[in-house]
């Protein structure tokens, strides 16, 4: 009887962790966080020149330092709503993801 109760407890904990862990913020990756940016900059990071939304894969963007890119993400007025919802670690993940799509 005790073994059955213990097995049920372990199973319940395992299911709870399986459900909770993906929703924790540290489980995000750069691609997931970038989805907020993709609404304007596009999935491929090409931007929309006609709407004056810059490309993130241009030579100019490639020349930016990671610190300058992080600053642009957090300090540009057009990013205000999005930037407020990002932690410093998430900003780093987005910069890293942008670097990966620049290649």
Q: Which domains does the chain have, with CATH numbers?
A: 26-101 (1.10.760.10)
pLDDT of residue 46: 95
Per residue in 16-67, pLDDT (tens digit) is 777 766 555 555 788 999 998 998 999 999 999 898 999 999 999 999 999 9
Q: Rounded CA gap, 41 and 26, in Å?
A: 24
Q: Is 87 helix (H, G, I), strand (E, B) or coil?
A: coil
pLDDT of residue 1: 66
Buried b (16+ CB within 10 A) or exposed e, 19-30: eeeeeeeeebeb
């Amino acid at each position: 009887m005790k073994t059955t109760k213990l097995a049920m407890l372990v199973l319940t904990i395992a299911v709870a962790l399986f459900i909770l862990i993906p929703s924790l913020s540290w489980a995000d990756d750069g691609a997931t966080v970038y989805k907020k940016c993709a609404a304007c900059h596009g999935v491929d990071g090409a931007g929309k020149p006609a709407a004056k939304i810059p490309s993130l894969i241009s030579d100019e963007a490639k020349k930016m330092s990671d610190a300058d890119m992080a600053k642009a993400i957090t300090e540009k007025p057009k990013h205000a709503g999005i930037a407020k919802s990002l932690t410093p670690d998430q900003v780093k993940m987005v910069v890293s993801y942008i670097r990966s799509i620049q290649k």
